[in-house]
Amino acid sequence: MHIELILPVDCLCDFTYDFYWQHKGERLLPSGIIPHQKGMSYTYEDLVSCLKMGKDVHIKGNVGRRLGSSLGVDLKFFGGTGRPIGVGSIIVDGDIDTRMGISMVTGAIYVNGNVKQPIGNVVEVKSDHAGYRKFMSITNLLHGGLKDEILPPNVLIGDDLFLKDAIIRDTIAARLDADKTVTVEGDADMSTGILMKRGFVRVEGDAGMNTGVLMRGGVVIVNNTGEFAGAYMKGGILIIRGKAKGFVGANMKGGVIFYKGEAMLPASAPDESDIRMLVRLLDISKVEAMMFRKFLR
């Protein structure tokens, strides 16, 4: 499928249709005609359907925000399984605005222009398409054994992926379900570890809002973080080493948060096994580990 844009458009190839379940069509209709097309009348749903059939979407022109959001997820809200599915690639002849590939799990995005930060759950790999940069989902690469060659300065050592490029990313390790590790040598933006089931994410800097949101399992460690850390968690472990803004643990259903501050849940002292875990994971003394508070539903 080929589409040409006169002006940038947001939420193209967005499998959530800009979180349709929240706005119920007030912001975007899947059946709506994409604006600013040149000589075409494709809908938002046409692009998603094309990708689901394993075909590529070629876009000529600059693209707006949230390109390829949740790319490759068979979303339950639309009658799917909630699991990853195979999809085609998105190929862009132009620039891409922020949040490309947030919560993306399969497929690839090729671009021959600039990509604005923050980006999503993607990392650049060696391109097999001359003249284009290639981005793949961090989650997909970890699930698939990292068959694609990750470009430096990012590096894979065994099952450990180190993000060293100082690029700010949202939704790192979204839906990860593998015993693999992601270490961010810098800061992250929103929703680190969203919907994780297994795995380990360590952000050596600060993270944005919604860190650990909707986690099902795994471990996420951050320094300072924004609002709503651990919101709607159902499982897993979130460790906040420094400060968090408001609403920690909002609507939390399960899992555990370790944090020295206040949360929206009753607090208890960590037990001996918790203290040993914190000492090991954070490389801190037993005395410092005892300063953490344990929050769980």
Are residues 164 and 83 part of one domain? no
Question: CA dist 228 to 10, 170, 281, Å?
Answer: 25, 15, 23
Are residues 215 and 185 part of one domain? yes
Show Cβ contacts of residue 15 under 8 Å, excluding neighbours closer than 6 positions: 48, 69, 70, 71, 72, 73, 75
Are residues 270 and 142 part of one domain? no
**246: CATH:** 2.160.20.60
Residue ending a domain, among 151, 166, 195, is 151
Are residues 143 and 277 part of one domain? no
Are residues 170 and 118 part of one domain? no
- Amino acid 241: pLDDT: 98
Q: Give the pairing type, strands 90-93 and 57-60.
A: parallel
Are residues 140 and 1 part of one domain? yes
Indicate the SS3 state at residue 147. Answer: coil
Q: Rounded to an integer, what distance in angstroms lies between the CA atom of residue 169 and that of residue 139?
A: 13
At 154, list the tokens: 């990012």
Exposure on the CB side of residue 12, measured as CA atoms within 13 A: 34
Q: Specify the pTM.
A: 0.95
Residue ending a domain, among 151, 169, 191, is 151
Residues spanned by the domain of 172? 153-297
- Amino acid 147: pLDDT: 66
Q: Rounded to an integer, what distance in angstroms lies between the CA atom of residue 275 and that of residue 290?
A: 6
206 CB neighbour count, 10 Å cutoff: 18
Are residues 212 and 139 part of one domain? no
Beta strand segments in 26-180, E = 57-60, 90-93, 108-111, 122-125, 133-137, 155-157, 160-163
For residue 37, the one-letter residue type is Q
Are residues 183 and 91 part of one domain? no
What one-character DSSP code corresponds to residue 34? P
- Amino acid 238: pLDDT: 98
CB 94 within 8 Å of CB 127: no
Are residues 189 and 104 part of one domain? no
CB 210 within 8 Å of CB 194: yes
Are residues 158 and 273 part of one domain? yes
Mean pLDDT for the chain overall: 96
Show Cβ contacts of residue 33 under 8 Å, excluding neighbours closer than 6 positions: 41, 42, 43
8 CB neighbour count, 10 Å cutoff: 17
- Amino acid 146: pLDDT: 61
Q: Count of domains in the chain?
A: 2
Are residues 289 and 190 part of one domain? yes
Residue ending a domain, among 151, 166, 200, is 151
- Amino acid 98: pLDDT: 98
Question: CA dist 268 to 14, 216, 273, 274, Å?
Answer: 41, 22, 14, 11
Beta-bridged to residue 200, according to DSSP, are 181, 219
Residues of the chain scoring pLDDT < 70: 145-147
Strand arrangement, sheet containing 267-268: 155-157, 160-163, 181-184, 200-203, 216-222, 234-240, 254-259, 293-296, 267-268
**Tens digit of each residue's pLDDT (9 = 90 or more) over 214-261:** 999 999 999 999 999 999 999 999 999 999 999 999 999 999 999 999
Show Cβ contacts of residue 196 under 8 Å, excluding neighbours closer than 6 positions: 173, 174, 175, 176, 177, 215, 216, 217, 218, 220, 236
- Amino acid 145: pLDDT: 62
Show Cβ contacts of residue 1 under 8 Å, excluding neighbours closer than 6 positions: 42, 46, 47, 50, 55, 56, 57, 58
